[in-house]
């Protein structure tokens, strides 16, 4: 009833307005996608074609040659992909475990200083990241973790945002009675977490896994600070090293960039809704 009345009352300009809105949103979407499109286009063209005027606008047939050229320039390329993926996987696994554990404690257990400790964790989110850049280099140099994947995995093994997300989710879905019942059944505190809590918070773990994995896989600054040798470069560093002051081989670089972006692109196509919701949930509630 309401909707029909609305359509009748709609002023004549509404259609134009709608058209403009669609036009703007569509044009914006094109701007967002165009760099990706040209990344794939360039990946299929020889360097000379990319440098010609006008540049190529459609896919070419130089994909395999570009790939070969990339392998010739950076023999470690596949290794660095594996390196990046395994660092991201390790960081994600540690974060899931530690954040869920802490989130569970903050959501379900009563203990002294609970609110204070939680407030402290949130306060660390306010620290600007550049303040810790120099100290991180210093510390890693002193303990000899330069060029080691530990320097990327261990410091980020338990993120404050992850704890926050886990606490929100656990306190909203997990019935307290369940935990109490398990305790009555003489389950140890850690067993309760492992056998009762963990199986019930799958969705939140999935979202946190996505966020952590993407963050770690894309991490450029952290790697730049501690990885110095080409042999241990992660993907962003390898790509960055292809960039010279003159004579960049754009074809090989583009295929490298495309390969670097593809895993997350695939992940995003499947899980975009979940990822966007997960990232904004904290912002809206908090």
Q: Which residues between 148 and 207 bind another protein (CB under 8 A)?
A: 154-155, 157-158, 160, 163, 183-186, 188-190, 193
Q: State both tokens at 140.
A: 């890693």
- Residue 29 in contact with another protein, rule: CB under 8 A: yes
- Residue 116 in contact with another protein, rule: CB under 8 A: no
- One of 182, 217, 227, 233 touching another protein (CB under 8 A): 217
- Residue 136 in contact with another protein, rule: CB under 8 A: yes
CB 147 within 8 Å of CB 232: yes
Stretch that binds another protein, among 68-76, 107-115, 171-179, 199-207 (CB under 8 A): 107-115
- In whole angstroms, the minimum distance from the beta carbon of 202 to another protein comes to 19
Distance CA 161, CA 150 (A): 21
- Residue 261 in contact with another protein, rule: CB under 8 A: yes
Tokens 């330069």 sit on residue:
146
Instruction: Count interface residues toward another protein (CB under 8 A).
Output: 101
- Residue 15 in contact with another protein, rule: CB under 8 A: no
- Residue 147 in contact with another protein, rule: CB under 8 A: no
Stretch that binds another protein, among 60-68, 94-102, 171-179, 198-206 (CB under 8 A): 94-102
- Residue 82 in contact with another protein, rule: CB under 8 A: no
- One of 55, 82, 175, 203 touching another protein (CB under 8 A): 55
- Residue 85 in contact with another protein, rule: CB under 8 A: no
Q: Which is nearer to another protein, 22 or 75 (CB)?
A: 22
- In whole angstroms, the minimum distance from the beta carbon of 148 to another protein comes to 14
CB 242 within 8 Å of CB 252: yes
- Residue 128 in contact with another protein, rule: CB under 8 A: yes
Residue 106's closest CA among 193, 47, 229?
193
- Residue 24 in contact with another protein, rule: CB under 8 A: yes
CA distances 12 to 6, 20, 25, 68, 257, Å, are 13, 14, 21, 59, 48
- Residue 12 in contact with another protein, rule: CB under 8 A: no
Phi, psi of 2 (to 5 degrees): -60, -45
Label residues 36-54 b or e (16+ Cβ within 10 Å = b): eeebbbbbbbbbebbeeee
Q: Within the chain, where are the H helices?
A: 2-9, 14-43, 47-50, 63-73, 77-108, 114-124, 133-143, 150-153, 160-173, 176-184, 189-191, 202-218, 221-226, 235-241, 250-285
């Amino acid at each position: 009833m309401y909707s029909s009345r609305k359509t009748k009352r709609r002023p004549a300009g509404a259609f134009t307005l709608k058209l403009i809105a669609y036009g703007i949103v569509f044009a914006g979407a094109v701007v967002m996608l165009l760099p990706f499109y040209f990344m794939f286009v360039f990946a299929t063209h020889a360097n000379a074609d990319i440098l010609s005027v006008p540049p190529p606008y459609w896919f070419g047939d130089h994909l395999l040659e570009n790939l070969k050229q990339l392998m010739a320039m950076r023999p470690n390329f596949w290794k660095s992909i594996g390196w990046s993926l395994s660092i991201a996987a390790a960081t994600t696994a540690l974060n899931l475990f530690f954040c869920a554990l802490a989130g569970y404690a903050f959501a379900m257990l009563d203990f002294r200083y609970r609110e204070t400790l939680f407030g402290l964790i949130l306060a660390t989110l306010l620290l600007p990241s550049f303040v810790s850049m120099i100290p991180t280099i210093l510390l890693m140099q002193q303990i000899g973790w330069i060029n080691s994947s530990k320097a990327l995995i261990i410091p980020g093994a338990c993120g404050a945002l992850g704890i926050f997300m886990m606490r929100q989710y656990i306190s909203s879905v997990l019935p307290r009675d369940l935990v109490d019942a398990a305790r009555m059944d003489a389950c140890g505190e850690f067993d309760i977490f492992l056998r009762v809590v963990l199986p019930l918070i799958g969705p939140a773990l999935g979202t946190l896994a996505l966020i952590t994995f993407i963050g770690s896989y894309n991490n450029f600054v952290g790697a730049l600070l501690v990885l110095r040798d080409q042999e241990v470069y992660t993907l962003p560093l390898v790509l960055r090293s292809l960039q010279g002051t003159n004579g960049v081989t754009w074809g090989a670089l583009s295929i490298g960039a495309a390969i670097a972006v593809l895993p997350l692109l695939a992940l995003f196509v499947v899980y975009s809704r979940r990822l966007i919701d997960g990232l904004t949930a904290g912002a809206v509630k908090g």
